[in-house]
Amino acid sequence: MINKESPPEILIVDDDPTTFSIIEGYLQPSNYYVHFADNGKNALKTVKKVRPDLILLDIMMPGMSGFEVCEILKNDEATRDIPVLFITSLSDRDAHKKAIECGGEGFIVKPFNEGLIRAYVKTFIRTKKIHDDVKQRLASNTDFTSMTIHDLNNLDFAVSANLELAMLDCIQSPRANRYLTNAQHGLEKANKMIEQLQAIMHAESSREDLDFTPINVIDLIDDAARPLEAQMESKDLRFHMQESDFVEIQGNKDLLLRVLANLIGNAVKFAWPGTQIGVECLGAGSRWMEVIISNQCDPIPEQYHDLVFEKFKKVPNGKKREAGIGLGLAFSRSAIESHGGRIWLESPLSGQESGVAVHFTLPSME
């Protein structure tokens, strides 16, 4: 894949070394890295090793023809996007037609014209770069969409639980009103997330700096935990926040609210009934605050402590944990690192045989 740190790589495939020398001389002033293969078999080996950005491929070679090489490349998902330009002394229409039909992007007829070759190469290298950029952007959008869907599912679960409890209290009561208010609050967050997704996908290429503002982390934790009241009540969970003098941080409120909603949501989802969800804020030096969210649940083996923060990874411990480990924690790590902080797992809890605690740091108010 073309990137800004290394020159584009070109593979020339021809059984005549003179052809390689001529084309290499044409391309040398343009800072391309040029490879050579003298037959089809060696060409396929080189492509697997190098993954060039463009292939100049002779048609008439001993053993495997250029047509056969091109068909193999275009039938392989890993190499089908590499543009192939045929270089040939054949000038008949059928040869050119077959070159295009087997997947080639074009052809150059011998004897070579230096200006034409350099123009062809420049055009197809630029096309390959555009293709790579678009592919990478689509992959990024897919990851972000998957993470957002994960968050929306968490909110939907909270909304559904609140509504079910409200319907059980069929008469009007303060408790029913609270459940309905929580449900409405969750739906508003879901709508806001969808709006943010649309805005980010529309202007994804701009990558503007995050807007950091002073935030009271205790208030933010309250906002994140409020939609989970119904789930906590259904499992008889208690929410315990240790008092702290360290409450003011610098950060992006929307991102950090999603992080806290993910982490507290996971803590509630996997907590043993009748236990406690703990939240603690500690001073981690003059410039940093450490936040700890913990619960009582089956422990996560140490070898999986880093794995749980990778996208689409699950903890293979045979428990019920695998349904909730993955995108939420991957997003949380990305968001915390965008603030300059770090995030890590502790399990079991210190001095115990069970439980999980997620620690993360954020910049505090100077």
Query: What pLDDT digit, counting tens, does each position of 37-58 carry?
Result: 999 999 999 999 999 999 999 9
Question: For residue 54, what pLDDT is reported?
Answer: 94
For residue 283, list its beta bridge partners. Answer: 289
Question: Where do the DSSP E strands lie in the chain?
Answer: 9-13, 33-37, 54-58, 84-88, 106-109, 213-216, 238-241, 248-251, 276-283, 288-295, 343-346, 356-363
Q: What pLDDT score does 201 carry?
A: 44
pLDDT: which is higher, 111 or 224? 224
> What are the residues whose beta carbons fall under 8 Å from the beta carbon of 7, sequence distance 6 or more?
31, 32, 33
Instruction: Round to whole Å and give the CA distance between 366 and 361.
Output: 15
The residue length of the chain stands at 366
| Residue 307, SS3 per DSSP | helix
| Per-residue pLDDT at 145 exceeds 60 | yes
Q: pLDDT tens-digit profile of 193-220?
A: 555 444 444 433 333 456 788 999 999 9
Indicate whether 134 pLDDT > 80: no
| Side-chain-facing half-sphere of 10: CA atoms under 13 Å | 25
pTM comes to: 0.49
pLDDT at 322 over 60: no
Bridge-based pairing of strands 288-295 and 276-283 is: antiparallel
What CATH code would you report for 209-366?
3.30.565.10
SS3 221: helix
Instruction: Give me the pLDDT at residue 244, please.
Output: 76
Tens-digit pLDDT profile for residues 215-272 = 999 999 999 999 898 889 999 999 998 877 778 888 888 889 988 988 999 899 899 9
Query: pLDDT digit string (tens) for 263-304?
Result: 999 899 899 999 999 999 887 666 888 999 999 999 999 988
The H or E element spanning position 198 is helix 174-202
**Is pLDDT at 124 greater than 60 in this prediction?**
yes
CATH class assigned to 9-112: alpha beta
Percentage of the residues of the chain whose pLDDT score is greater than 90:
31
Tell me the mean pLDDT in the region 114-129. 84
Query: Given pLDDT bands bounded at 50, 70 and 90, which one contains residue 324?
Result: very low
Q: What is the DSSP-derived secondary structure letter of residue 83?
A: -
For the chain, what is the total number of helices (H) and then of strands (E)?
Answer: 10, 12
Q: Under DSSP, is residue 214 helix (H, G, I), strand (E, B) or coil? A: strand
pLDDT attached to residue 357: 96
Residue with tokens 């021809």: 14
Sequence ranges of the domains in the chain: 9-112, 137-208, 209-366
pLDDT above 70: residue 338: yes
Q: 160: which residues sit within 8 A by CB, 6+ positions away?
A: none
184 versus 350: the higher-pLDDT residue is: 350
Q: Are strands 343-346 and 356-363 parallel, antiparallel or unpaired?
A: antiparallel
